[in-house]
Amino acid sequence: MICYQPEKKWGVLSNKSDRTNISAEAHESAGTDTYDISRLYAIAADDQELVCNLIDIFLRQYPEQIEELASSLADDNHDGVRRISHKLKGTLLNMGAEVAAGMALRMEKAAECSDIMLMDDLHGSVVSICHALADRLRRERQSLLDAGIICE
């Protein structure tokens, strides 16, 4: 297996200040400004009911994934971190959240190389970005409900 080299692909991360930059970037992108809800509508071919279904599934599924990620990290189970990050990446891509998926990809690659420091750095960012995305999706769901487009 060719091991992931974060310093080549994502820029030099070997010193503390660079790692801080990555973290800052991750926290910044956790804001809803980087997420374009129209991506989700495009994926769902503008089917509002499907959008609502996907939001519901994501809101049910992601806390479990976040929890599994945390417990794998706590247990130093790098293969578990890799597997969950990979799955989370797929989920986020299907929700049209490319920036968040990119973060999960970094986590997956860091786990492949057992880069504990990077995994720790990214963990908080992945959690934040997922929570931010969930908030945005809840608002979208509510607006669909308010508009009478979908029912509870």
Partner 1 sequence: MNILFAEDDAVSRKLVESYLNKWGHTAFLAEDGQQAIEIFDANPYIHLAILDWMMPNVDGVEVCRRLKKHPSQRCIYVVMLTAKAANEDIVQALDAGADDFMSKPFNQNELRARIAAGERIMNLETELVEYIEKLESALTQVKRLQGIIPICSWCKSIRTDKNFWTSFEEYLSDYGQHSFTHGICPDCMKKYYPDLVKAGADPE
CA dist 48 and 121 (Å) reads 36
Distance of closest approach, residue 44 Cβ to partner 1, in angstroms:
7
Nearer to partner 1, 20 or 53 (CB): 53
CA dist 117 and 107 (Å) reads 11
90 binds partner 1 (CB under 8 A): yes
Is the torsion defined by CA of 140, 66, 122, 87 positive or negative? negative
129 binds partner 1 (CB under 8 A): no
- From the list 5, 20, 53, 142, which residue makes contact with partner 1 (rule: CB under 8 A)? 53
93 binds partner 1 (CB under 8 A): yes
Nearer to partner 1, 19 or 86 (CB): 86
CA dist 138 and 132 (Å) reads 10
Contact (CB, 8 A) for 36 and 96: yes
Q: DSSP string covering 67-86, please?
A: HHHHHHHHTT-HHHHHHHHH
Distance of closest approach, residue 58 Cβ to partner 1, in angstroms:
6
44 binds partner 1 (CB under 8 A): yes
Residues that bind partner 1 (CB under 8 A): 43-45, 47, 50, 53-54, 57-58, 60-61, 83, 86-87, 89-91, 93-95
